[in-house]
Amino acid sequence: MALKTWKELPIGCVVFEPGSASEYHTGSWRSQRPVWDNQKCIKCGICYVFCPEGCVQQTEDGFFQADMDYCKGCGICAHECWPKAIAMKEEE
């Protein structure tokens, strides 16, 4: 997404397109990523409930994964996961 110049900004920076925040990929902020160990996962969904970004999704087989476009790597899912199925791994 090309960044606008100051002259191209709408007056008052009003956003006329609903839902356009989804174009902003906050995943670029991440320094650590959550990695699920499905051997330990009991499919309780607490990671899904606690993710402040709403980016944890359940897959067809019942396990969970994060949408890396939006996951900021906050680690709340790993902290809350009581079977300790989520590990935070350093990004390269």
Contact positions toward other proteins, by CB under 8 A?
3-7, 9-16, 18, 20-21
Query: Which residue, 5 or 39, is less far from other proteins as judged by CB?
Result: 5
**Shortest reach from residue 86's CB to other proteins, in Å:** 27
State the nearest-atom distance from the C-beta of 43 to other proteins, in Å.
Answer: 34
Q: Which is nearer to other proteins, 3 or 39 (CB)?
A: 3
The rounded radius of gyration (Å) of the Cα atoms in the chain is: 17
Residues 6 or more apart whose CB falls under 8 angstroms from that of 65 comprise 36, 56, 57, 59
Contact 59, 65 (CB under 8 A): yes
